[in-house]
Amino acid sequence: MKERLQQLQQEALEKIEQANDLKALNDVRVAYLGKKGPITEVLRGMGALSPEERPVMGALVNEVREVIQTALEAKQATLEQAEVEKKLASEAIDVTLPGRPVKRGNHHPLTRVIEEIEDLFIGMGYTIAEGPEVEKDYYNFEALNLPKGHPARDMQDSFYITEEILLRTHTSPVQARTMEKHQGRGPVKIICPGKVYRRDNDDATHSHQFTQIEGLVVDENIRMSDLKGTLREFARKMFGEDRDIRFRPSFFPFTEPSVEVDVSCANCGGHGCSVCKGTGWIEILGAGMVHPNVLEMAGFDSKKYTGFAFGMGPERIAMLKYGIDDIRHFYQNDVRFLQQFNRV
């Protein structure tokens, strides 16, 4: 029996050494240490031995089992390490390859135009003023010379929340609030960018929500010529140094006199084309001298102070600047449209 155990040990060690993967190694484990293996058979045959021989043979069986088990564990560790190294080699990352580029976003064309206009007027000494989009009827209309029942309110069909609260229809309430804060003391020199809302049918040139930038200057001896010089500088910086502007008489309740402002057509140089409908001019904004009633309601002495105001739509400016034919493109988040401005 002793010779048989030594022979089994030798055979097991040889097969363990020959195993080239974990499956083959497990087969060796089952073959020699399993319930039906030869070592288990030896243990079952120990009942035929004398009482004196049993402890000796029991110790020998345990020694053989331990030697085989130790060899199995050592071989298993070796095979597992080899498998890990093989897997690492097959899944190795070549760090010399360039990384996958991350797509970067870009400023929306409206954001570009708004920031360009803000930078231009800040360079002229203006400050940026902001106000609430949910506004009181008083600041949106009454403080701007539009009392309740005034027919000019019909031009600005509005989203009312209550009879006295609405979504602002222009950024002019910011002008009224700012003048009120100055308590009748000038100078005031601000631009007011922001979103505005009107009950309008969405089409290529209209939207129920759009952006607006208004400007206001109030001080002593402010004249119409100051307004024209300011807007001419704006037009040339925004559309090109060879652009010119013209004033056409108009009506706004909060300015007197009031004007529509046109810029000479960049497409034809003012000679007339399909873009400007043959006139050589394109309308870009409205403006005028601040109405004395507006000054008085804000606490300014209209005999001492004068001022001018203007208002423009960044969508309109962007459409002219970039040749965009439909205002809805700005709000649809179509990546194909927005990507065109990555290098603008």
Amino acid at 113: V
Strands 188-197 and 127-128: parallel
Amino acid at 207: S
Omega before residue 249 within 30° of 0, cis: no
Beta bridge partners of 5: none
- In the block, residue with structure tokens 């004033």: 247
Q: What is the pLDDT of residue 31?
A: 83
| Integer Cα distance of 121 and 160 in angstroms | 32
| Integer Cα distance of 183 and 218 in angstroms | 12
- In the block, residue with structure tokens 């700012």: 178
| Integer Cα distance of 271 and 277 in angstroms | 11
Beta bridge partners of 281: 264
pLDDT tens, N- to C-terminus, the chain (344 residues) = 677 777 878 888 888 888 888 888 888 888 877 777 777 776 666 666 677 776 777 777 778 888 888 888 898 898 888 888 888 888 777 778 787 888 877 889 999 999 999 999 999 999 999 999 999 999 999 999 988 888 877 777 789 999 899 999 999 999 999 999 999 998 999 999 999 999 888 888 889 999 999 999 999 999 999 999 999 999 999 988 988 999 999 999 999 999 999 999 888 878 888 878 889 999 999 999 999 999 999 999 999 999 999 999 999 999 888 888 899 999 998 988 988 887 65
Q: What is the pLDDT of residue 45?
A: 65
Helices 109-123 and 224-239 meet at what angle, rounded to 10?
130
Q: Could you give the dihedral angle defined by the CA atoms of residues 245, 250, 252 and 253, in that order, rounded to the nearest 10 degrees?
A: 140
Q: From residue 159, how far is each of 134, 166, 168, 331 by CA, in Å?
A: 10, 6, 8, 20
Q: What is the pLDDT of residue 1?
A: 65
Centre a 10 Å sphere on the Cβ of residue 234 and count the other Cβ atoms it contains: 24
Query: Which run of H or of E encompasses 194?
Result: strand 188-197
The distance in angstroms from the start CA to the end CA of the chain is 93
**E strand intervals along the chain:** 127-128, 134-136, 165-167, 188-197, 209-219, 245-252, 255-264, 281-290, 306-312
- In the block, residue with structure tokens 């609260």: 165
Amino acid at 73: E
* C-beta of residue 136 within 8 angstroms of C-beta of residue 164: yes
Residue 235, phi then psi, degrees to nearest 5: -65, -40
Q: Does 256 appear as a known binding residue? A: yes
- Does residue 143 sit in helix, strand or coil? helix
* C-beta of residue 259 within 8 angstroms of C-beta of residue 287: yes
- Is the model's pTM score more than 0.75? no
| Integer Cα distance of 191 and 127 in angstroms | 6
| Integer Cα distance of 128 and 205 in angstroms | 27
Q: What is the pLDDT of residue 43?
A: 66
Helices 53-90 and 2-18 meet at what angle, rounded to 10?
0
66's CB contacts (< 8 A; 6+ apart) are none
